[in-house]
Structure 1
Amino acid sequence: MRLNECLNHASVPTLQRIAKSLHVTCVPYSKLDILQSILEAWLDPDVRKTMVERWCSEWDAAMRRVVLQPRHAFAREEMASLLTPFGDGALERALEAGWLYVHPDPATKFPLVVPEDVQEACHDHYVKAWRAQVLKRCEEPPCVRDEEDAILVDFEALVDYVRGHDVRLTTTGAMYKRHLEQLMQLFEVEESLELPRWRFGYGKRAFAYPDRLALIYDFACDEGVLVEQDGRVEVDEARFAAWKSSLTVAKLRRLLRHYIATYRGAIPRLADVLRLVRRVGGDWLDLASLYEVCRPFVNAFYYDSAEDVWRIRIVKMLVHLGVARIGSDTPESPPEWFQTTELGQELLSQGDAESTADLTERRPALVVQPNFELVVVSPDPRLEDTIAPFVERIPSSGVRAYRILAHTVARGLREGHDFDAWRAFVVRHALYGIPQNVERMLARWVAGARGEIGADAADVQSGESWA
């Protein structure tokens, strides 16, 4: 819907408040005069520029995200979430400001509308400002790293390796280190196998594998190409044949979509970052100034600072996915320049065209690790109170982590807590589900604890009858 349609469906009181907010002179009791006066003001380039600058200044945090969306209509809850920083009554004030309107169809899924021409004007305002902030260079840097489609080559190398070897999994559900070392020798892009103590939030196997391999392996399992069964990894040949028949662009698009879905738990505004990068990309851009532009959408995540998230979780992974390449002035210096590839621009454009509810607030989430640790990704007292009966807290700095063991399960059952309801809650809030080895042990511990409780009850009853 465009501005004239939105104004036409608005009530007289709403139009009066909009005209007052925009300082438009009109006959306040004539809907036609108010509507025409607002439209005439909007069609004046100078007045329109003033309106846009005012909206983008007063509603900056919300407007930045609105202009990056590939749609114009929003759910009431997500718009209320966007306007949270502006305090109580922000939604009502936004509806009076002239850039947000109520959809004329009350049954629609997205009842709040930003007119297309208003969104486009604000979008152009921000893009112009973002491009002015980012430093550029005309010539290509002397040292460039471009992985192109190497991730697809290594995906097939992983599948070929599993097909040709008896790949068994540890009790935590990870491949043994000798397999990882052999894979690194086969891959076009090698990674260090030395991992930090805390690894969670970036995929189901991030606890055991380096970033790129974890992404490839998780994707292969999600696609059904690799199947974990009875402590082994096997290849589903039919799924792999279907994968090989796909076009390169389609494969990379699926990988990019998987990356966004996997990393979004830790980086809620990842989709916004990628949309922004597409709008300023194409040239060689200074990485530091590009980070400053993207910074409002980049958050710290436990052991990763905001800069770590930007450098390792976004820039490095976009290079791995063939979306971008990086450059430096000397082989020894760290990356200083960033450029989206032509293929990357195409992939990001396809994602931009997909209208998804990226702004919907995530429910509180946690990660269940194969070592029986539960890490709370989105801290929430209610979530932690709910999981408390069957876990014990792990003392640690900066990470809210818990451990579930046989004695904590037995304790929770003895205290009368419902384990099945607890497990269903964990499954609902776990980003990557419950690992198979944890599921197996939980079933064993619960059966054992319930047996002991039943035996104790029988002893009590026999004692009472004897008495």
Structure 2
Amino acid sequence: MKLAEILVFTDIKQLHQIAEHYGCECNPHSKNELITSLLANLQHRHTIKLEVQKLTPIEAHFLLLLFLDKRLLFSLEDLLAKASIALAATAEKTKEEARRLIAGALKRGWIFPAKGTGAGQYQTPHDLREPYIYAWLESQTKDWQADMVEPLGYRDEGTALCDDMLQFLRFLEAEPIPLTADGGMYKRYQTQLFQFLNVKEAPLPPQKWRFGYGLHFDLYPDRFSLLYDFCYFRRYIEENGGFVRITDQGRELIADPAVAEHYHELIRFWLRLYKRAIPNLPMLVQLIPLLSAGRWIAQSQLSGLLLPWIKPFYYDEPIDILSNRVLKMMVHLGLLKVGQSAEQEWMYTTTSASQAWLGSYNGFVDTTILLK
């Protein structure tokens, strides 16, 4: 619902709280005057700009988690979970602080109790989401270089990951591949397969640790690990008797590829698979295309802005998570183009596929995948 519709059904007590927060001058006993004054204030660009400037980093984080989520309704548990993420701790440890954060959002007119639904349901005004998001983006990027620097060349992988998935299935269709005692394909088979893929990778060297980003992440390089896990999850392949082989579902996919459908499912799968290690991933995946829409943005600029929202995951440091688990994988999934500047710095810009797909997809509602 839009703000005007929501205010009509809002309890006058909350209207008074919002009016007090914004310093509205009107007759407090007239609901009509309150609504008229609040509409004029809450939707005013200058008001939104000032409000964004006053936010603490935690409040800004909560704002983005709230307004980038496309759901129509939120339960109290949903809001507490978002507040806990913004507070960078578990809900149990931050329950009181989380409730204060939600109370602040109620006073600002970001969320309202939803009338005509079950108890404990909340909603956000649809027409406030975009103005607040873009006001925040403007506040964070106003000092960035005005002249757009473009890379000397760039790479756009598009749907190459889907093409390589089909290539992998055809590779297995020829014959089952034997597995090592660790459960991975022998490296000579990996090397042979990787030669046919659009994006070249090499078998992994000995690693002290690799876990947290999929069932086969310790056995294969990043991109192929995602591809392999997706095929395994969708039952296009199976492992038994010391071999990995294609299934009937995999053969059906080769016969009728439906690339567009599987491209979207691959993106969803990546988000669900990596979200456990990167709780803010649904937010980051939407912010990065917004930040890089219509321009090339340096990795150092993204790092300065986004690293506070990325926590270490065991031995994976935030800068490595942003670079290897987020940006690189978004390139592999066709959500970003990548290039290098004359100074050899990585640069990114969004793709049309990213803008179209993320415009309708809501990664906040998808559950985490734990492959076993």
TM over 0.5: yes
**Distance verdict in 2 for CA 1:11–1:205, change over 3 Å:** same
Report the residue type matching 1:311 in the other structure: S
2:371 to 432, 447, 450: 432
Q: How does 1:85-96 map to 2 (within 5 A)?
A: 85=87, 86=97, 89-96=100-107
Report the residue type matching 2:280 in the other structure: R
| Map of 2:302 onto structure 1 | 290
- 8 Å contact from structure 2 (residues 169, 250) kept in 1: no
SS in 2 for 1:28: coil
Once the two structures are TM-superposed, the CA of residue 325 in structure 1 deviates from its matched residue by 2.5
- 8 Å contact from structure 2 (residues 64, 283) kept in 1: no
Correspondence 1:337 to 2:276: no
| Map of 1:80 onto structure 2 | 80
Once the two structures are TM-superposed, the CA of residue 130 in structure 1 deviates from its matched residue by 4.2
Compare relative contact order (CA 8 Å, sep 6+) and give the higher one, 1 or 2: 2
- 8 Å contact from structure 2 (residues 172, 245) kept in 1: yes
TM-score of the pair, normalised by structure 2: 0.85
**Distance verdict in 2 for CA 1:326–1:133, change over 3 Å:** farther
Once the two structures are TM-superposed, the CA of residue 139 in structure 1 deviates from its matched residue by 6.1
**Distance verdict in 2 for CA 1:254–1:186, change over 3 Å:** same
Once the two structures are TM-superposed, the CA of residue 317 in structure 1 deviates from its matched residue by 1.5
Structure 1 unaligned blocks of 5 or more: 363-429, 434-467
1:196 to 181, 186, 207: 207
Aligned equivalents of 1:251 and 1:69: distance in 2? 23
Q: How does 1:196-235 map to 2 (within 5 A)?
A: 196-235=207-246
Aligned equivalents of 1:54 and 1:137: distance in 2? 28
TM-score of the pair, normalised by structure 1: 0.69
Once the two structures are TM-superposed, the CA of residue 31 in structure 1 deviates from its matched residue by 2.7
2:133 to 123, 138, 153: 123
| Map of 2:193 onto structure 1 | 183
| Map of 1:268 onto structure 2 | 279
Once the two structures are TM-superposed, the CA of residue 310 in structure 1 deviates from its matched residue by 0.9
Once the two structures are TM-superposed, the CA of residue 323 in structure 1 deviates from its matched residue by 2.4
**Distance verdict in 2 for CA 1:335–1:148, change over 3 Å:** farther
- 8 Å contact from structure 1 (residues 298, 309) kept in 2: yes
Once the two structures are TM-superposed, the CA of residue 269 in structure 1 deviates from its matched residue by 1.2
Aligned equivalents of 1:324 and 1:49: distance in 2? 29
Aligned equivalents of 1:156 and 1:106: distance in 2? 46
- 8 Å contact from structure 2 (residues 331, 338) kept in 1: yes
The root-mean-square deviation of aligned C-alpha atoms, in Å, is 2.9
1:310 to 318, 322, 338: 322
Correspondence 1:151 to 2:90: no
SS in 2 for 1:294: helix
Report the residue type matching 1:354 in the other structure: Y
Structure 2 unaligned blocks of 5 or more: 88-96
Correspondence 1:161 to 2:100: no
SS in 2 for 1:268: coil
- 8 Å contact from structure 1 (residues 203, 215) kept in 2: yes
Once the two structures are TM-superposed, the CA of residue 57 in structure 1 deviates from its matched residue by 7.5
- 8 Å contact from structure 2 (residues 272, 366) kept in 1: no
| Map of 2:93 onto structure 1 | none
| Map of 2:64 onto structure 1 | 64
Report the residue type matching 2:275 in the other structure: R
Report the residue type matching 2:316 in the other structure: D
- 8 Å contact from structure 2 (residues 271, 363) kept in 1: no
Query: What do residues 277-312 of structure 1 show as CA deviations (whole Å, max 9, x unaligned)?
Result: 221224221121022232243222111110000111
Query: What do residues 157-180 of structure 1 show as CA deviations (whole Å, max 9, x unaligned)?
Result: 222222223412233322222222
SS in 1 for 2:337: strand
Once the two structures are TM-superposed, the CA of residue 121 in structure 1 deviates from its matched residue by 2.1
Report the residue type matching 1:432 in the other structure: L
| Map of 1:25 onto structure 2 | 25
Report the residue type matching 2:338 in the other structure: I
- 8 Å contact from structure 1 (residues 72, 115) kept in 2: no
**Distance verdict in 2 for CA 1:46–1:191, change over 3 Å:** closer
**Distance verdict in 2 for CA 1:72–1:129, change over 3 Å:** farther
Query: What do residues 132-185 of structure 1 show as CA deviations (whole Å, max 9, x unaligned)?
Result: 355476464224333343323322222222222341223332222222222233
Equivalenced residue count is: 359
SS in 2 for 1:227: strand
1:249 to 241, 260, 270: 260
Tell me which structure has the larger Cα radius of gyration. Answer: 1
| Map of 1:442 onto structure 2 | none
Q: What is the identity percentage for the equivalent residue pairs of Structure 1 and Structure 2?
A: 26
Report the residue type matching 1:34 in the other structure: L
Query: What do residues 245-264 of structure 1 show as CA deviations (whole Å, max 9, x unaligned)?
Result: 34433332222111111111
- 8 Å contact from structure 2 (residues 68, 129) kept in 1: no
Q: How does 1:436-451 map to 2 (within 5 A)?
A: none
